[in-house]
Copies of this chain bind each other. A is one copy, B any other.
Amino acid sequence: MTPTHAKSPLVFTSNPLDRASEMRSDANWLGAKRAEPQARFLLFWKLQPLLLGPEAEEATEFYLVDGASLQRVNDAATQEVFLGLDGESPYFAADISVLEYPIATLKTDSRYRESHFRDARAALEVLPIGQTAILGQAKALLDWHARHRFCSVCGSATISLDGGYRRECPSCKAGHFPRTDPAAIMLVIDGDRCLLARNKRFGVAHNHSALAGFVEPGESIEECVRREVFEEVGIRVGNVLYVASQPWPFPSSMMIGCFAEAISDKIQVDGSEIVSARWFEKETVKKMLAGSEIDGVRLPRPIAIAFHLIKAWVEG
């Protein structure tokens, strides 16, 4: 049996916590865990995690606080979620977006002096891999709470339950659960060539990548891959091979990475989402992966599953 997980762990995977999901609905257990002195809280302000040290730090980690420290900066009601257990330490994430100037507030407390909030994407680049996974879990959940305060069935305000893994409507009794949107990302392959495309949304960090799109209701992964590739570049796909998956909490996707075997080769870009697409020889891609910019083409960085798909193909 061949392992299907990537050999080098992807950002947002390899979560070291035991989610203890069977315990979440036990409010007494959760309350006791929260009150333990070894409980740790990861603070988020407007979806930015609190990190250790000064802002210029290039390798750092979470600034985890205990319950007493959390109490000082935030005794107002705020969203909390239970993340899991690290050995005997229960981990929680707390949203303190209600504070207007959190860093100023925090810095009046000496324990927070050496800390800063960093944009979640930027934090990816400086955190150890296991902490990126905790970041992804926490950010996806807090973002979901922030955008799901009301019942989609009847419009009433809902409440958070089960350590933040459920919301319930007191009015119509509907239950609501955190959302995860499956998206397929696929490297289209034609023998020794692969297809890389420029999406009009791509910025300066990279300008060419694999194609991608959300799985629609009533669609298998393979059907999604074939539809997206045909819609975006006019290529017909035969076999689809699953390679790896990556949570991508911007805001709540799960990227499902595949190879897509082309059975036609004439490219016709849709012009709306994809502005250009080309076939690239494996030798050229190898040089670009090693850092070269060829004809102005820059590939995605290692934080993205697209990089790993391209690498797996080049090395395969």
Residues of A within 8 A of B (CB): 1-5, 10, 12-15, 19, 21-22, 133-134, 136-141, 144, 147-157, 165, 174, 176-182, 189, 214-223, 227, 231, 238-242, 244-247, 249, 252, 254, 256, 259, 261, 270, 272
- Which of B140, B152, B156, B249 is close to A148, meaning CB atoms less than 8 Å apart? B152
Contact indicator B136/A261 (Cβ below 8 Å)? no
Number of copies: 2
- For A3, give its contact among B5, B178, B179, B240 (CB under 8 Å): B240
Q: A21's closest neighbor in chain B, by CB?
A: B231
**By CB atoms of chain B within 10 A, which of A141, A216, A247, A249 has the most?**
A216
Greatest chain B CB density within 10 A among A139, A218, A219 is at A218
Query: Which residues of B sit under 8 angstroms from A240, Cβ to Cβ?
Result: 3-5
A150 to B220, CA, bound (A): 28
Complex contact B179–A227 (CB within 8 A): no
- Which residues of the partner chain B approach A256 to less than 8 Å between Cβ atoms? 221, 256
Contact, CB under 8 Å: B218 / A138: yes
